[in-house]
């Protein structure tokens, strides 16, 4: 990984943001071997287009608030598969059907899984 501290920090922020909006089945993959310009992919599932959009918006907002620069965003209008490119971290927020169809876990199955520990939320948050 090029800058593991930065990628790990961004992953934590993004995972907590996704969890706060009901993101499911979070999986992080270390793709730095086959993709030298990216360290981590975060895959998240939302249960509707509205949920996918809310998850993506929250992740983007929290990473921007933490001072990370977004390179690119794609798919927000349809909210079936939103891609957020933050350089070291690329987040894929999928509607459940798209996640199964595109099967990124299968495509990147040789990449190590990066453990995610979600921050405990206080009741009412």
Q: What pLDDT, on the 0 to 100 scale, is given for residue 1?
A: 38
Quote the tokens at residue 50. Answer: 């509205």
Domains of the chain, CATH where assigned: 4-114 (3.30.460.10)
One digit per residue, pLDDT tens: the chain, 125 residues? Answer: 345 678 999 999 999 999 999 999 999 999 998 988 899 999 999 999 999 999 999 999 999 999 999 999 999 999 999 999 999 999 999 999 999 999 999 999 999 999 999 987 655 55
Rounded CA separation 55/94 (Å): 10
- The sheet with strand 72-74 has its strands ordered as 72-74, 81-85, 89-95, 40-46, 24-30, 113-114
Q: What pLDDT, on the 0 to 100 scale, is given for residue 121?
A: 63
């Amino acid at each position: 990984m090029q800058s593991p501290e930065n990628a790990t920090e961004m992953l934590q922020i993004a995972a907590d943001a996704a969890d706060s909006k009901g993101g499911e089945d979070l999986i992080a993959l270390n793709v730095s071997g086959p993709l030298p310009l990216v360290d981590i992919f975060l895959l998240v599932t939302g249960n509707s287009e509205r949920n996918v959009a809310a998850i993506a918006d929250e992740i983007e907002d929290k990473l921007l608030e933490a001072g990370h620069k977004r390179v690119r965003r794609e798919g927000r209008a349809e909210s079936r598969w939103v891609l957020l490119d933050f350089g070291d971290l690329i987040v894929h927020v999928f509607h459940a059907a798209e996640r199964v169809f595109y099967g990124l876990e299968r495509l990147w199955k040789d990449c190590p899984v990066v453990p995610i520990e979600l921050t405990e939320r206080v009741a009412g948050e």
